[in-house]
Structure 1
Amino acid sequence: MSEVYYALPRPAPYIPDINYKTTITKDPGSSQYTLASKGETPTANPTCASGSVSLTPVYGINRALFFLTNTAIQVTWSSCPTKYTLNMRCANYKMGQKKCLIKDTVFSVYIHGNMNDAPITEIIEDLCRATGVKFGSPTLEWYFSFGENTLC
């Protein structure tokens, strides 16, 4: 999927990659998943940054919830996953914790296809309903990162 927006706590500790694409696939013969990503660095001399990370699923939850490490999680959800997904990564997470602090959280909005087909109203409603977070929040810095990836 293609990332459209990326949100960091204010003040933002870094500028995110642009033209960012990511895929989550199930590892054959395993309960693990792999998140593969690539994007263009926002530097004066941009390069292709790519990588992958192993995801361990947490079962018994009605969203795609994964452990990235012992203390970091990633949650993926959508009312219409064939068109878009929302993603939240939270550091300093303890199992059973109900909320993540904004200072420990980043959000991403991903779409299938192009911006012409993106159901923006539904995306905004999904984000707010699940997290209470709104676009325009003074505690988050939102970056528009969508575009054609020419370096990767």
Structure 2
Amino acid sequence: MAEPQRLVGPGPSAGSVVRAPDPSPDPLPSAPPEPSPALVSHGRRDQAVVAVGGGADLLPDTIAGRAVERSRYGGVANAAGAAIALISGEYETLVPADAGRAEALADARAEAVGRAVAAGEAPEHTGVVRIREVPVSYAGRPCLRVTVKAAGRLRSA
């Protein structure tokens, strides 16, 4: 434990003893915290606890009284999730809020789809999944910041 130090100068209590906090030898906790039972029980029936992915080995063998099941191939779950994920492309631009907005939005949609196809998306399975329009208050004329995201399945070889 650190030695106490006396405050000499002005402060809350000059002359009082102040103890420095003990530095932790390890900044990480020695054991992971116990997961919440609320994460285990969804609805009226009990759910199985299945641990997969790179962090599965960090979990205890039981959570909220339930045994944690670990799949033999659970370590590759992240890779499987990435393999079935959609390919996407995103485009962001400023468009006028008045005349010309519809044409600018169509151009932004086409650009997002083009970027998704360039990333490996199958053109026949492409689609715009999100359009976000946010008014820009700091521009000289009324305009919108538009973000368009297109996604689809991976193009087969």
Higher relative CO (Cα under 8 Å, sequence separation at least 6) belongs to 1
| More strand as a share of residues | 1
* TM norm structure 2: 0.20
| Bigger-Rg structure (1/2) | 2
| More helix as a share of residues | 2
